[in-house]
Each structure stands twice: as structure tokens, then as C-alpha cells.
A and B are shown apart, each in its own frame.
Chain A
Amino acid sequence: MSVITVERIKLFSTRSPWWCMIVAAVLTVGFAALTTGFLKGADEQQATIFITQPGAQLSQMVMMVMAALAVTTEYRFGTIRTSFQAVPQRAALLLGKTAVVAFLSGVIGLIASFGAWGVGSLFASNADLSINTGAEWRLLAGQGLVFAISAVIAVAVGILIRQSAGAIAILILWPLLVENLVNLIPKVGDDLARWAPFANGSSFLNQGQDFGLAGAGAGGSDFALSPWWALLYFAGWAAALMAIALFSASKRDA
């Protein structure tokens, strides 16, 4: 698996991926400290695991930016040509990159979710934050899977757009704005929103959670699919986008 080694050396020999990973991990843990640190008395007892995770989406965005940059900087500095020259089997090379970036994102996702849960347990020590339902395990451990899949989407968008600003804009606007705005379209809007890819990613995490202080339905209760099917659907989007990106990169002039 030399392409894995190649992409590992590339990623760790510049500084920005390190920064992205540190920021991503710190954000989720920091937000957990903020949401649990000031709780007192009855409020504190109502805290749930869900309350410790508000920073996760932000961290997910940061890792998507890192994933997209792993591709777009190669186009910006022309190293993609050196890469294709060294490994003319372009799809294999780009899949290697995807694997490395997705794996790292997954690991950061796990560090973020369990780190935030740890900090929450420390601050809200009077609340019952032990992980004892399948849904709670899914919320924490599942974060790794959601981070990894969204990184795959980010790499695919990076390959297709080839330009940092454009790719990052799409990756931030799509989950945060576009998926929420489609709601406003009459008749079909609700269905579009329920079948949007990132909505299904979070539906996988949020179904069956005790929202506690956040109130029921904070994560949206209108789910199109059961948790694991929702994750599969999200992964299907990632796979489809990646297939299009690999096809396009193989045909295009580098």
C-alpha cells in the first residue's frame, strides 16, 4: 500500500493539517466545557451526553476543510502533476489520499466526542453521564464514522472543484445553509430536507437521544430513515461523489 505511505508523508510534512486536527479536537472539548461548566443544581442534574456534544458539528467542518485542502493545495502548487507522474494510476493515488484523510478524521471525531464527554462528566459530576444505552454509544462512537464519511465527501468535492476557496465554500454552505433552506420550498421542501445527506448523517447520531436541557426535537425529530440506514444513505452520497470525482480526475488533463 505505497499510496497510503505517500499520502501520510505528504499530509504530515506540512503544518496546516496538524493545526486543523488540534483545532477540531479542542473545539468540541471546549464547547463541552462551556455548556456543562456553568450548570448549577437542578439544571446540572438534567445534563445528558447529548449536551456535551454541541461543538462536534464545528469540528466536523474543520476536518472537512482539512480534507478538501489536502487535495486543493496539490492543485494550487502543481504537486498533483508530480503525484500523477509518480503514480499514473490516478484513482489509486486519490483513493489512498481519501483513506488517509478519512481515517484521521475518524480518529479526531472519536477524540472530540469522547473528550467532550469526559470534560462534561468532570464539570457536571452530579448528572448521570454514564454511557449505558445503544443510542448513547452510537452518539459518541458514531461521531468517528460521521467525521470519516464527511471527510470523503470533502475530498471528492476538492477533486471536483480543484480550488480551495470554492471547495471550502461549498462544504460549509451546503450542510449549514442549503440543507436548512430547502425546507422553505413549498410542498417538496420537507422531503428534500429529510433526504439531504448531512441531515441523515446527524439523524444517525441524534435518533433516540435524551436531549435533556436542549429540549426534545432539538436535532430534528422528522427522520427519513432508521439510524443505521441513515448512515448508509450518507455513506452512499460520499461513495457516489467520490466515484464521479475519480472518474473526472482520470479523464481530465492534470
Chain B
Amino acid sequence: MIEATGLTKRYGATVAVDNLSFEVKPGRVTGFLGPNGAGKSTTMRMILGLDTPTSGQVTIDGQRYRDLHQPLTKVGALLDAKWVHPNRSARAHLAWMAASNKLPKDSVDKALEMVGLTAVANKRAGAFSLGMSQRLGIAGALLGDPEVLLFDEPVNGLDPEGIVWIRTFMHRLADEGRTVLVSSHLLSEMALTAEDLVVIGRGKLIAQSTTQEFVDRASGTTVKVRTPQLDQLAGVLHQQQLVTRIEDVENEGKVLFVEGDLTTDQIGETAAAHGIVLHELTLQRGSLEQAFMQMTGDSVEYHAHDEIAAVTQLDAPSGAEVAAGPKEDN
């Protein structure tokens, strides 16, 4: 179990991580979610004892990382796939890591085989593609057969094949009963990979819950209605104390959105009772993206634009599969 209490990291006047407390439970995949620059990598470096917290602490099974002996047998991590000497072979890279923790001789070959790099084991790591580097990094993380695994943005920049491979791998690791903490700014990815979420924005904890709870809590359901008798329906629904909103949606003209927990049945019946023609009646569930925007929106003080943000969000096809646009590298 990874436990952070009051974790804070300051660089001069900038606060990268601000009084962060969270728990990562054993035997599950926990997603560490936040926009670029939210402090995810800094937090991971503090977990691994690479950066020293300004205040607070983070422990792994009650021990600080820097007090661990032969830590690779307890915690495996991939923070940056490029942390390899480009002129050193993949095998030599793993060999020195194995020697540092007195791991058995065959651990290097096993790890190489697990990630499918046996054929290129003696090639220099500098010639590897990003996907291969990522595999080498994962081999390094698995070298000591650790219970706890940390991955920082493991799918960043990978091709679809690589993404699927990593995703499958994460699930396999969790199925083996390991604790996995994986960070990402790709919410759709987290929805597929993580059972629990730790969400941060601007270095502060925004939420810690299961992925399902997070989505449910953050974004209620909305019903989208298209009708030629827009004002009439809005009037009727107002009398039922429902909150409605009329928006101009591209290619669809004026659309009525009804907020709050309700079913399409209720609105359909109301419309029929008043003889109102409906062209469309759709229930829109909140996506992880929406939930995230709403939660972090508060912390990043975008209040003034909330309404507009919500509308653009609703325009997009809802559900978890939201196209991953070009992402900045952090």
C-alpha cells in the first residue's frame, strides 16, 4: 500500500504538490489522474525517493522508499522510458539493475522475454523505437518481481498496438494481485484501465474514489430533446420544477437540455400528455471527461466559462471512447 500524508513540494515560489494525501490500495489498478503540470510526475518522484518533499511524507507499506534495501524487489517503476544510456544494450541495462539488488541471474532473461525484447536484447537501447523503449522500461520495473508498480504516462506517444499491449499488461499485473499506480492525463484511458482514481489538479487532491463513483458523482444525467414546440415544452417542464436550458447546437438548431436525475420516460409522457411532437429524446450520461472538467474546473477557477464548457462537452459523443487528440508531453 502506498500512503501519502500532507505531501508538499515547493520549487521557490511555485507549489508543485500541495498538501496531498491519498492511499493506493493493494491488488488494484489505481489511476493517477490530472492535467499536464498537475504534479503527477513530481508526486511519483517523491514516492520513489528521488525528490525530497518540502513537507509531509509518502510511505510504501509503512516504509519510506529511501529506507528500503533492495527496493526493486518491492517497488518497480517506469517514470521515463528514455532514462537509458543510448549506447548500452538492453541486456546490459537490465544486468546492472539486477546486480544492484542481487537478483538471480536469470531474472534479466525472464524480464526480456516477458516484454518480448529477447531478440533485440544485445542491440543498443538508443536505436529502440518509443514502443520498444517503453517495453524495456517495463522490463526494468518487473525485474525484481515487485508487489508494487508505478507507471508514469505509460501510453504517452505509443501507437494503438502499443497502447493495447500496455493496457492488457496492466490488467495482467493487477490480476496477479499486484498494486499498480498508473498516471495519465488521458481520461478515456483511465476509464478502461483503472478501478480506483486519485484525481489531482494544481497539486491538490480533487477526488479519491472508484472510477465509477467518480463519474456518477461528478456528472449527473442530462436529457436532450429536439422538438418544433420548444417553448411550449420548456414551459410545461418548468411547471414540473425541472431545470431546462435551451442551446443553439450546430447543425441541429435549438435544442432543449433537461438537467437533473430523471428518465426519458418521464419527459416523453409529459410531451405526449400535452400533444407535443418530439424529434429526438436522448439520455446523456456523463463521461469521465465531463466529470473531470467539472471537478478540475472548480480548482482551476474557470467558473465563468462553466456553462460554455458544459455545452461543448455535451456536443461531443458521450461515453468513454473520446478520441485522444495530440497531447503535450509533460
**Interface residues, chain A, CB within 8 Å of chain B?**
2-3, 5-6, 9-10, 13-16, 73-74, 77-79, 81-89, 93, 251, 253-254
Task: Report whether B85 and A3 are in contact in the complex, using a CB–CB cutoff of 8 Å.
Answer: no
Task: Check if B87 is an interface residue, CB within 8 A of chain A.
Answer: yes
Given A5-B99, A77-B83; 19 other pairs, CB 8 A cutoff: A2-B100, A3-B100, A9-B95, A13-B96, A14-B85, A15-B87, A16-B87, A74-B85, A78-B80, A81-B80, A82-B84, A82-B97, A86-B100, A87-B100, A88-B49, A253-B51, A253-B52, A254-B50, A254-B51
Q: What are 29 A-B pairs at a CB distance below 8 A?
A: A2-B99, A3-B100, A6-B96, A6-B99, A9-B99, A10-B85, A10-B96, A13-B93, A13-B95, A14-B87, A15-B87, A77-B83, A77-B84, A78-B82, A78-B83, A79-B83, A81-B50, A82-B83, A83-B100, A84-B50, A85-B49, A85-B50, A85-B77, A86-B100, A86-B101, A87-B100, A88-B66, A253-B51, A254-B50
Report yes or no: A77 in contact with B72, Cβ–Cβ below 8 A.
Answer: no
CA–CA, A5 and B98, complex, Å: 10
Interface pair B100/A6, CB less than 8 Å apart: yes
Interface size of B by Cβ–Cβ distance < 8 Å?
33
- Nearest residue in A to B42 (C-beta to C-beta)? A253
Contact A14 B48 (CB under 8 A): no
Contact call A88/B68, Cβ cutoff below 8 A: yes
Contact B52 A251 (CB under 8 A): yes
**Is B65 interfacial (CB 8 A cutoff)?**
yes
Which residue of chain A has its CB nearest to the CB of B52? A253
Residue of A nearest to B87 (CB): A14
Interface string of B27-57 (1 = CB under 8 A from A): 0000000000000000001001111100000
When C-beta atoms are compared, the residue in chain B nearest to A5 turns out to be: B99
Q: What chain B residues lie within 8 Å of A254 (beta carbons)? A: 45, 50-51
Is the CB of B89 closer than 8 A to any CB of chain A? yes
Give the distance to chain B from A7, nearest Cβ to Cβ, in Å.
8
> CB distance A81 to B96 under 8 Å?
no
Report chain B residues within 8 Å CB of A88: 49, 65-68, 71
With A81-B83, A88-B71: A13-B88 Cβ-Cβ less than 8 Å: yes
Please report which residues of chain B, range 68-111, place their CB below 8 angstroms from some CB of chain A when the two chains form the complex: 68, 71-72, 77, 79-80, 82-89, 92-93, 95-97, 99-102
Q: Chain A residues near B79 (CB, 8 Å)?
A: 81
Question: Chain B interface (Cβ within 8 Å of chain A)?
Answer: 45, 48-52, 65-68, 71-72, 77, 79-80, 82-89, 92-93, 95-97, 99-102, 140
Count how many pairs of residues, one from A and one from B, have CB atoms less than 8 Å apart in the complex.
83
User: Chain B: which residue is nearest A251 at the CB level?
Assistant: B52
| Contact status of A86 and B82, CB under 8 A, knowing A14-B88, A253-B52, A254-B51 | no
* Chain B residues, CB < 8 A from A89: 66
Least Cβ–Cβ distance between B29 and chain A, in angstroms: 21
List, in ascending order, chain A residues with CB within 8 A of B101's CB.
2, 86
- Contact partner, A77, options B45, B52, B86, B95, Cβ 8 Å: B86
Measured between beta carbons, the chain A residues less than 8 angstroms from B71 are 85-86, 88
Pairwise interchain contact B85-A73, C-beta atoms closer than 8 A: yes
Distance from B189 Cβ to chain A, minimum over Cβ atoms (Å): 24
Which A residues are CB-close (under 8 A) to B65? 88
Q: What A residues does B102 contact at CB under 8 A?
A: 2
Expressed in whole angstroms, the Cα–Cα distance for A16 and B88 within the complex equals 11
Chain A residues in 8 Å Cβ range of B93 = 13
Q: How far is the CA of A66 from the CA of B68 in the complex (A)?
A: 31
Contacts of A77 in B (CB 8 A): 82-86
Tell whether, in the assembled complex, residue B84 and residue A9 are in contact, meaning their CB atoms are under 8 Å apart: no
* Docked-complex contact B140 and A82, CB < 8 angstroms: yes
- Docked pose: A10 CA to B85 CA in angstroms: 9
The reply to whether A253 and B100 contact each other, CB–CB distance below 8 Å, is no
Enumerate chain A residues within 8 angstroms of B96, measured Cβ to Cβ: 5-6, 9-10, 13
| 7 A-B pairs closest in CB distance | A13-B92, A78-B83, A86-B100, A9-B96, A253-B51, A88-B66, A254-B50
- How far is the CB of A24 from the nearest CB of chain B, in Å? 20
Residues of A within 8 A of B72 (CB): 85-86
Residue of B nearest to A10 (CB): B96
Contacts of B97 in A (CB 8 A): 82, 86
Which A residues are CB-close (under 8 A) to B48? 85
CB-nearest residue of chain A to B51: A253
Least distance between A127 CB and chain B CB atoms (Å)? 44
Q: What residues of chain A lie closer than 8 Å to B89, measured between beta carbons? A: 13
Contacts of A5 in B (CB 8 A): 96, 99
Which residue of A is nearest B101, CB measured? A86
Q: How far is the CB of A67 from chain B (nearest CB, A)?
A: 16
Min CB gap A210→B, angstroms: 45
User: A2 contacts which chain B residues (CB < 8 A)?
Assistant: 99-102
